[in-house]
C-alpha cells in the first residue's frame, strides 16, 4: 500500500471538539502536514452542523463526547447520534474519531463496516503522529477500527476471493475489482479488513502484501 500522504489541495477539514486545548494541538498538527487544506473547528454539534452545511468537508475529525449546543454538557450519546447522522448523510465525509472513550462505537459497527467513506478511530491519548497516520488512512477511503472494537477474526468469502485472485491468479487490484464487479475502493477496504483479521501491520522495509500472503498461508487460507 502506498504510504505517501494524500494530497490535501482544495480539501476541507472540520475538527469537532469542545476542549480548546485539544483543538490547539490537533489543528496545528493537521496544518503542518496538510498545508493545502482549509481547516474549520466547532465545539458543539449545532455549530458543526452549520459548518458542514456551509463547507461540505471532505474530512471530519470528531470527539465522541461533545455538547449539542454551547449551553449543554458534553456527552457520548450526543456524539454517537451526530456520528450516525454523518454516516447516513449524502455527503459521506471521511471521518476520524478521536476520543478518550471509543467503546461506544461498537453500537455503530455494522454501519461503519458498510460505510462508503473512509473511517478511523483512536484514543486521543495516543501520539499526534498516530492521528496523522489515521487521518491519511481515512482520506484514502479505508476503514480502521482499533483492536478493542474488533470482533473475533472471521474471514468473509469476499476477502478470501481477493486473496485467491491476487496470489493465485496474480491479478492487480483494478483487475480484481473488475472481476468481482465492485469498486476499487471496496477492494482496498477488503485488503484493510484482511490485514486486521490476520493481525498484520505495516513495517518498515517489509512488503505489506507479502506479509498478508505469508499470514494467510499459515492459516491455510491460501494453498
**Phi/psi class of residue 66: alpha, beta or left (left: φ > 0; alpha: ψ in -120 to 50)?**
beta
pLDDT at 153: 53
pLDDT in tens, the chain (223 residues): 334 455 555 799 999 999 988 888 899 999 999 999 999 999 999 999 999 999 999 999 999 999 999 999 999 989 999 999 999 998 889 999 999 988 888 888 888 988 989 999 999 989 999 999 999 989 988 888 887 776 545 678 899 899 999 999 999 999 999 999 999 999 999 998 888 888 888 777 889 999 999 988 887 787 6
Burial classification of residue 96, based on how many CB atoms lie within 10 Å of its CB (0-12 exposed, 13-18 middle, 19 or more buried): buried
In sequence order, what are the residues at sequence separation of 6 or more whose Cβ sits closer than 8 angstroms to the Cβ of residue 116? Answer: 92, 185
For a pLDDT cut of 90, what percent of the chain falls above it? 60
pLDDT at 132: 93
Cα 47 to Cα 43: distance, rounded to the nearest angstrom: 7
pLDDT of residue 145: 86
- For the stretch 103-161, pLDDT in tens is 888 888 888 988 989 999 999 989 999 999 999 989 988 888 887 776 545 678 899 89
pLDDT for the residue numbered 3? 42
The pLDDT value recorded for residue 5 is: 58
pLDDT reported for residue 156: 82
**Exposed e or buried b per residue across 73-95, where buried means at least 16 C-beta atoms within 10 angstroms of its C-beta:** ebebebbbebbeebbeeeeebbb
Amino acid at each position: 500500500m502506498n504510504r505517501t500522504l494524500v494530497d490535501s489541495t482544495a480539501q476541507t477539514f472540520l475538527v469537532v471538539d469542545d476542549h480548546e486545548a485539544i483543538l490547539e494541538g490537533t489543528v496545528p498538527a493537521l496544518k503542518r502536514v496538510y498545508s493545502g487544506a482549509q481547516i474549520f473547528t466547532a465545539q458543539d454539534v449545532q455549530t458543526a452542523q452549520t459548518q458542514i452545511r456551509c463547507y461540505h468537508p471532505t474530512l471530519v475529525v470528531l470527539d465522541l463526547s461533545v455538547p449539542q449546543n454551547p449551553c449543554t454538557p458534553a456527552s457520548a450519546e450526543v456524539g454517537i447520534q451526530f456520528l450516525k447522522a454523518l454516516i447516513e448523510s449524502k455527503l459521506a465525509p471521511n471521518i476520524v474519531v478521536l476520543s478518550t472513550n471509543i467503546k461506544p462505537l461498537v453500537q455503530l459497527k455494522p454501519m461503519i463496516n458498510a460505510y462508503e467513506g473512509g473511517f478511523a478511530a483512536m484514543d486521543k491519548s495516543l501520539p499526534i503522529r498516530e492521528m496523522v497516520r489515521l487521518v491519511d488512512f481515512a482520506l484514502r477511503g479505508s476503514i480502521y477500527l482499533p483492536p478493542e472494537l474488533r470482533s473475533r477474526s472471521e474471514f468473509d468469502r469476499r476477502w478470501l476471493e481477493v486473496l485467491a485472485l491476487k496470489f493465485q491468479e496474480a491479478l492487480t487490484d483494478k483487475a480484481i475489482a473488475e472481476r468481482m464487479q465492485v469498486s476499487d475502493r471496496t477492494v482496498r477496504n477488503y485488503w484493510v479488513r484482511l490485514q486486521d483479521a490476520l493481525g498484520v501491520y505495516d513495517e518498515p522495509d517489509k512488503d505489506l502484501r507479502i506479509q498478508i500472503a505469508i499470514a494467510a498461508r499459515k492459516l491455510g487460507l491460501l494453498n
